[in-house]
Structure 1
Amino acid sequence: MLSGKIAVVIGGHGGIGGAVADRFAAEGATVYATSRHAQEGEVDRGAGKLRARRVDAADLAALGAFFETVRHEVGRVDVLVVNAGMAEFATLDAISEDHFDRIFDLNVRALLFAARGATAIMPDGGSIVLVGSIAAAIGTKGYGVYGATKAAVRSFARTWANELASRNIRVNVVAPGPTDTAMMAAASEEVRATLSQLIPLGRMARAEEVASAALFLASDQSSFITGAELPVDGGMAQV
């Protein structure tokens, strides 16, 4: 589905981002997967290649240098996925400036400049997939700042879909619910069971299921879809 494409996955190490990077490479793309924790290198993944790059997405100078490297090495970005993000618990009375700044810097500021960097070298007909969250639409206690960042992601997708339509660049959001990643594995069994009970399908998502949704939005299979949000939440925020 992505044969010959150049893809960039910001936040592409482990969890949802890692699953997206692996799936895109398996579908034939050359994938640049960034992370603060990446061990740089290149491996074959079936029909495609996975190139790990150590980049702190919140460091705008490092992010700009990364896109310049991509431009120099391959000349373009056909598909961008922005997954880098963080969440921390803090109720309104406990929110600090540092808490607010760190979450908005990574979840919103870095996402915006990643999109700007990619579209500067993206040919007409490209695709952008932003990883949002159903947290944008539900009021989870203690995660107000995180939810606000994901609402900003949803808003950016609408605006950029409109701005980039003349170049036939599509912009969409994949919005996971609770997903069984390493971060979630650190939660207690009680918390995991409580979350699962809130999901009509009775379980959390697998990272690979979110990756499948991202692949659909990135590929020509969704050629007439832009400005949309695709929830992957087992119905949690839908019914």
Structure 2
Amino acid sequence: MTGANETSTTNGNTNGHTTMPTTESPRPLNLTGKTAIVTGSARGIGAGIALELGSRGANIVVNFTSESSRSNAEKIVSKIESLATGAKAVTVHASVVDKVGQQALIDAALKLGSGHIDILVHNAGNGDDRYLTDITEEFYDMQMDINLKAPIFLTQLALPHIPRGGRVIIVSSVSARMGVPQQTVYAASKAATEALARVWATELGQSRGITVNCVNPGPVATDMYYASDQSFIDALKPMIDSTPAEARIGEVRDIAPLVGFLASEESRWVTGSVVSASGGLLFF
């Protein structure tokens, strides 16, 4: 769902202006000494996740792909390092799709912490919409590369450096299950990431002690959402107004703490799961 999810270049906040996500209350320092990579973390959901994990004491690799996002990424780093948790952070300008960019993220994480990667958050993605009749191979390749190929091969590259107790967390979307028009590729890619979580939970659980889970947001107020066609936003309004938890669009602060939980020791018995972060829009 456009705006429901992540992007490495266009996430933002409720009014379309990029602001700094904040945590609402002190977080437990239960990730002290851990190192996390959060892809697409210069804005919106990704930035909120980076700040959430940093507020719990984790060292954070803040990733951005567009030069226009550099300033935002640097602000996230400054914010993390001002939290008085002892957490360190670094920006990495890298594409999550190609091997060079993936290796740059791995190298930065290994230098930032104590030579391992404890938490890998796949947040970067693309949510552009097209009707079936308008889909080209180029559009398909672009969206599947960032939404599906990147998580697979970045995880593969990181795996030798993830110790027992490690966490892999994928930001999915309710679009995987809703059948929203124009989302042939996006919905398929997000459904596939939920399959990754189930498969990897089996492959990496007993053998490596790694848990793998998805967080599944509904519509979230980010720049990506507000960059959608007004007709699309208008069409979503009845659904948003019917959200069981509250008649409003989701916010970054609704999503990031769930990732914080899944990254912590308290989630040790949760794996292969899709954790709903939609305010109850979907109950399955």
Per the TM superposition, whether the score is higher than 0.5 is yes
The CA deviation at 1:191 is 4.6
**Residues 61-140 of structure 1 mapped to structure 2, 5 A cutoff:** 61-74=100-113, 75-140=115-180
Where 2:148 maps in the other structure, the secondary structure is: helix
Find the aligned partners of 1:6 and 1:227 in 2 and give their Cα distance.
22
What runs of 5+ residues in structure 1 fail to find an aligned partner? none
Find the aligned partners of 1:125 and 1:68 in 2 and give their Cα distance.
20
Are the structure 2 counterparts of residues 137 and 190 from structure 1 closer, same or farther at C-alpha, using a change threshold of 3 Å?
closer
Q: Does 1:186 align with 2:231?
A: no
Find the aligned partners of 2:209 and 2:158 in 1 and give their Cα distance.
15
Higher strand share: 1
Letter in 1 for 2:159: T
Are the structure 2 counterparts of residues 227 and 51 from structure 1 closer, same or farther at C-alpha, using a change threshold of 3 Å?
same
The CA deviation at 1:213 is 0.8
* Alignment-derived partner of residue 259 in structure 2: 214
| Residues 210 and 232 in structure 1, CA contact (< 8 A), matched pair in contact too | yes
* Alignment-derived partner of residue 153 in structure 1: 193
| Residues 21 and 50 in structure 1, CA contact (< 8 A), matched pair in contact too | no
| Range with greater deviation from structure 2 (220-229 or 185-194) | 185-194
The CA deviation at 1:69 is 3.6
- Identical amino acids, percent of aligned pairs: 31
| Range with greater deviation from structure 2 (199-208 or 95-104) | 199-208
Are the structure 2 counterparts of residues 22 and 45 from structure 1 closer, same or farther at C-alpha, using a change threshold of 3 Å?
farther
Where 2:126 maps in the other structure, the secondary structure is: coil
Q: Does 1:238 align with 2:283?
A: yes
Find the aligned partners of 1:177 and 1:102 in 2 and give their Cα distance.
22
The CA deviation at 1:49 is 2.6
The CA deviation at 1:72 is 4.2
Q: Does 1:60 align with 2:99?
A: yes
How many residues matched?
Answer: 239
Find the aligned partners of 1:198 and 1:87 in 2 and give their Cα distance.
23
The CA deviation at 1:50 is 2.7
Are the structure 2 counterparts of residues 97 and 198 from structure 1 closer, same or farther at C-alpha, using a change threshold of 3 Å?
farther
| Residues 35 and 57 in structure 1, CA contact (< 8 A), matched pair in contact too | no
TM-score by length of structure 1 reads 0.93
Higher relative contact order (CA 8 A, sep 6+): 2
Find the aligned partners of 1:175 and 1:219 in 2 and give their Cα distance.
18
Find the aligned partners of 1:219 and 1:25 in 2 and give their Cα distance.
12
Q: Deviations over 1:174-230 (max 9, x none)?
A: 000000112223343635633422422211111111101111111112111110010
